[in-house]
Amino acid sequence: MANPTTSLPLYERVARKNTIARAIELSILSLLLSLLAYRILSFQDHGFGWLLAFLCESWFAFIWVLTVSSKWNQVVYETYPQRVLQRKLELPPVDMFVTTADPVLEPPILTVNTVLSLLALDYPADKLACYVSDDGGSPLTFYSLVEASKFAKLRVPFCKKYSIPVRAPFRYFSGDSMSSQDTSPQFQQDWKKMKDEYEQLSQKIEDAAKGSIPCELIGEFADFMNIQRRNHASIVKVIWENKEAGDANGVVPHLVYISREKRPKHPHHFKAGAMNILTRVSGVMTNAPFMLNVDCDMYVNNPQIVLHALCLLLGVKSDKDCAFVQFPQHFYDGLKDDPYGSQWAVLHEYLGRGLAGIQGPFYGGTGCFHRRKVIYGLSPYEYDEEISGKLSDQNLQKTFGSSMEFTKSGAQILSGSKSTSSSPHNLLRSVEAANQVATCVYEYGTAWGREMGWIYGSTTEDILTGLTIHGRGWKSTSCTPTLPGFLGCAPSGGPATMTQHKRWATGLLEILVTRRSPLILTLVGKLQFRQCLAYLWILLWGLRSVPELCYATLPAYCIISGSRFLPKCYPEAPRNTETVFGVTQKEKSPTNSSDDDNANVGMVGRITFNESPIFISATMVLLVHQTGLVWNFKVQTGGSRWACLEYESGALALLFVHLSRWSSMVQGFGDETRTHEINVLLREGVSGRDSNPTGYAGLTTELVLNMGE
């Protein structure tokens, strides 16, 4: 009789009930279509403002169709990691990738904490290998990792002995971590020892960062002698090799440092190139069937993430239903209410779960588990005969490259066979082959970056790679455990946010015009139609600002030109107007703090203006509106008494609102510690029966007119 615990599913696919939300979304869509129909029927009676409004509203309706389609079938995957252990299966190896590029913009202590959180996962240490890609070729980063490996030999057993929930030391020791743990004298003694060791590690890295050279460039550091960031040979260093297989609680996983070769005249393809190097180096060293990649600023928040991911990777009926498992990106110490929209809370809650009900979530570039065979370009619909044809030596070298060690490991992955070696990997013997596949000329004449690996051609290589995988017919899954899998740091200032958004917008538009456009992959590939609409939703993200800005300037244009763009209402009798302003409650951050911790608390909720261009559009619209008011601020002698009173009172109220916001914005640019002082909540209404309408329609963007009998 079968054990009931082994027959239980590793995950459940739960469909969310969103009937009310669907009804509301369809109602909004019907209103948008009705408005478009009204504008088409009324074209002959209006001018340019009406046409521009029609074009903008058509765009809004199109985007809303994409949104409704993407959110329609919301699905949540509930995983049961303990059932993986209960089945007593042989747990598969997992290779973990960490990418960093600049020791100044990405401090080594941040990378160290991410690596330490990965090394301390609740998973057999002999099944894990951590590879760190340093695109900066910095001896400081390598030195920090060497010191971190020494600390990890103490930290990993401590975490597993006491089941420490937070495995990143800088987060664990930043709060009152000891109060929620065991209060035994032994734990308190070990806790203080760990804290002292971590403080010493942090001090060593900080002292090394202050010097131009962190240490003497001899021995293991000799390869960094006279190194140039954009012109150096490949460097592969085995910092720590786990040779104690079987002792899962007392050892540290493999830790390997990689700095790929860079030459001035050879393209390096940014992060996509670094990820392909990591894939090849890990292929000749450990060749795990599953790979996890994280950014250096995103540490592990849930120590059981590997088990959660395996619930989906091993629990699906067919591999084609789960090419990769994407964990949503969550952030720590973000600004209150997310003023820059960089934390994506709503996006993950609704759109992410909607994508899970179609062909799966997008690849987010970090916090993702991949099947290695999918990254190697395998299609889910290839038969054994087709796969066998790819395993010939000639085809393997044409696809994987000239390295015999790597082509052999690639054939092993594509065929689905396990390693025949019973002894643990000897990483030091693989360093020479690893250096070969890390050169900048290795990819020439191969399929890397085109048909396999991370795809080149866009600065948003994550979306392009995920789109290519979905275009082959694979599906993906999202994993949303109660305790978030990863936590990262989001940009807290305007300039950093603008730089990030510019890169995203540019990269997404690059994908839209390539041969891997979702429209093309839907027609000639295996991309589902609704998944295509979802990709269009995100690829068109950068273009949305154009119609939104045009629509925001329409009221000012109508004031200046004496036209209107909103439908006219004709009530049966004059009505009294009541201007209603709702002022939101404000919270003032403390100005004085006794220590750094209190200062950090004061930062929460504060908007950092710096010298940010993020407010230029809003300021321009504000100036245009004020210009329109001054231009058209006159007594409407040709209209009725109600029309004159309506315009004058509305204009004065709107002018007051603008002046209030203007003062707040000026103060914000002048002093970084100030926030917007006045937020005006607005409701919209239109009245009057003047046959010769004024530019009053533009006032509705800022003013509240609540109609009453």
**Tens of pLDDT, residues 365-411:** 999 999 999 999 999 987 666 677 677 778 888 899 999 999 999 99
453 and 368 both lie in a single domain: yes
Q: Among residues 507, 539, 571, which one ends one of the domains?
A: 539
pLDDT at site 346: 83
43 lies in some domain: no
Is the same domain home to 382 and 459?
Answer: yes
**Least confident range of 129-143, 275-289, 491-505:** 491-505
The reply to whether 674 falls in a domain is yes
CA distance linking residue 618 with residue 665, whole number of Å: 10
- Using the predicted structure, report yes or no on whether residue 307 has a pLDDT greater than 80: yes
Q: Measured over all CA atoms, what is the biggest interatomic distance in the chain, rounded to whole angstroms?
A: 96
Res. 87 pLDDT band, cuts 50 70 90: confident
Of the pLDDT bands very low, low, confident and very high (cuts 50, 70, 90), residue 694 is very low
Considering only residues 426 and 430, tell me which one the structure prediction assigns the higher pLDDT.
430
Identify the band that residue 617 occupies on the pLDDT scale cut at 50, 70 and 90. low
Range name among 166-175, 341-350, 528-537, 643-652 with the lowest pLDDT average: 643-652
Model's pTM, two decimal places?
0.82
Tell me what the mean pLDDT of segment 9-20 comes to.
92
Q: Is 295 annotated as a binding residue?
A: yes
Rounded Cα distance between 706 and 577, Å, is 6
64: confidence class by pLDDT, cuts 50, 70, 90: very high
Higher pLDDT, 489 or 98: 98
204 is in an annotated binding site: no
pLDDT reported for residue 384: 67
Q: Whole-angstrom Cα distance, residue 638 to residue 562?
A: 13
Same domain, 585 and 675: yes
pLDDT over 50 (residue 667) = no
Higher pLDDT, 71 or 661: 71
Instruction: Assess whether 441 and 587 both reside in one domain.
Output: no
Q: What is the CA radius of gyration of the chain?
A: 30
Whether 46 maps to a domain, the answer reads no
Whether residue 109 is found in the same domain as residue 211? yes
**pLDDT reported for residue 683:** 34
pLDDT band at 656, cuts 50/70/90? Answer: low
Q: Which domain holds residue 648?
A: 545-708
- Same domain? For 482 and 338 the reply is yes
What is the average per-residue pLDDT within 478-497?
Answer: 88
Which pair of structure tokens corresponds to residue 363? 């690849």
The residue among 200 and 336 whose pLDDT is bigger is 200
**E strand spans, 107-177:** 128-134
Model confidence band, residue 688 (pLDDT cutoffs 50, 70, 90): very low
Mean pLDDT, the chain, integer: 82
Express each pLDDT in 266-287 by its tens digit: 999 999 999 999 999 999 999 9
Q: Are residues 602 and 504 in the same domain?
A: no
Do residue 194 and residue 340 come from a single domain?
yes
% of the chain beyond a pLDDT of 90: 57
Higher pLDDT, residue 624 or 551: 551
Q: Does position 149 have pLDDT exceeding 50, yes or no?
A: yes
Q: What is the helix, strand, coil percentage profile of the chain, to 5?
A: 50, 10, 40
Comparing 250 with 221, which gets the higher pLDDT? 221
Asked whether residue 236 falls in the same domain as residue 308, the answer is yes
Report how far apart, in Å, the C-alpha atoms of 698 and of each of 32, 444, 551, 552 are.
19, 59, 11, 9
pLDDT digits (tens, 9 = 90+) for 174-206: 876 565 566 788 999 999 999 999 999 999 999
- Does a structural domain hold residue 664? yes
Report residue 419's pLDDT band, with 50, 70 and 90 as the boundaries.
Answer: low
pLDDT of 344 reads: 83
Domain end, chosen from 539, 554, 572, is at 539
336 is in an annotated binding site: no
Domain end (from 486, 518, 539): 539
Q: Distance of alpha carbon 470 from its chain centroid, rounded?
A: 18
Backbone angles phi, psi at 331, to 5 degrees: -130, 155
409 or 684, which is more confident: 409
Q: What is the CATH number of the domain that holds 483?
A: 3.90.550.10
Residue 36 lies in a domain: no
* Sequence letter at residue 604: V
Q: Looking at per-residue confidence, does 361 or 337 come out higher?
A: 361
Is residue 41 domain-resident? no
Residues in the chain: 709
The gap between the terminal CA atoms of the chain, to the nearest Å, is: 78
Across the chain, how many H-helices and E-strands are there? 25, 17
**Average pLDDT score over residue span 422-449:** 88
210 is in an annotated binding site: no
Domain count, the chain: 2
Torsion angle of alpha carbons 172, 96, 74, 352, nearest 10°?
80
Position 178 scores a pLDDT of 61
567, two tokens: 């439908």
Indicate the range of 54-58, 69-73, 423-427 predicted with least confidence.
423-427
- The secondary element (H helix, E strand) that includes residue 163 is none
Helix H, strand E, coil C: the string for 568-606 is: CCCCCCCCEEEECCEECCCCCCCCCCCCHHHHHHHHCCC
566 pLDDT higher than 50: yes
The DSSP symbol for 419 reads: P
Residues 406 and 531 in one domain: yes
Q: Examine the domain organization and report whether 438 and 582 are in the same domain.
A: no
Mean pLDDT for the stretch of residues 500-521: 93
Q: What is the pLDDT of residue 385?
A: 64
Q: What is the pLDDT of residue 246?
A: 52
The reply to whether 240 falls in a domain is: yes
Active site residues per annotation: 135, 462
Distance CA 322, CA 327 (A): 13
Q: Sheet of 324-326: strands edge to edge?
A: 235-240, 254-259, 128-134, 94-100, 290-295, 368-371, 324-326, 477-478
**Do residues 340 and 477 share a domain?**
yes
Say what percent of the chain tops pLDDT 70: 75
Q: Does residue 1 form part of some domain? A: no
pLDDT at residue number 565: 86
At a CB cut-off of 8 Å and minimum separation 6, what does 220 contact? 142, 146, 237
Query: What is the rounded average pLDDT of the residues 485-514?
Result: 89
621 band by pLDDT with thresholds 50, 70 and 90 = low
Shortest CA distance to 348 belongs to which of 369, 330, 373?
330
Model confidence at 421: pLDDT above 60: no
